[in-house]
Amino acid sequence: MNLMTVDGYHAKIEFDEETDQFRGEILGLSGGADFYGSSPDELRREFKKSLDVFLEVCEEQGIKPRKHFSGKFNLRIPPELHERLAMTAEVQGKSLNTLAQEAIQKSVIA
């Protein structure tokens, strides 16, 4: 995954063949913000501009810029995998939640 970070905000970067430019989409916002650039430097400058405008609008409207995450979500997996996870957790002396959290932690971006 191509990821760019500015001021603690992360953006997913993809190439847009229609515009022949790179497109960035800022992640984890309570609304949408994207930006375009032809080079890494231009992309970073446009990221900063787009983020600044988004944050300014949020401040004007009294909106929190980042999405709120509760720390809870439902995960649907096949029953056979659920059973194997539960047994693995029991063998390791952990809760199913702890085992799942550890596995997920290994897969996420920093």
Q: Hey, what domains does the chain have and what are their CATH numbers?
A: 3-61 (no CATH), 70-110 (1.10.1220)
Strand extents, DSSP E, the chain: 3-6, 9-16, 21-26, 34-37
Q: What is the pLDDT of residues 71-93, one digit of tens each?
A: 999 999 999 999 999 999 999 99
Whether pTM > 0.85 for this model: the answer is no
Q: Cβ neighbours of residue 46 under 8 Å, at least 6 residues apart?
A: 24, 35, 36, 37
Percent of the chain with pLDDT over 70: 98
Q: Please state the separation of Cα 38 from the chain's center in Å.
A: 23
For residue 109, the model assigns a pLDDT of 78
The arithmetic mean of pLDDT across residues 20-45, rounded, is 95
For residue 1, the model assigns a pLDDT of 64
The arithmetic mean of pLDDT across residues 28-52, rounded, is 95
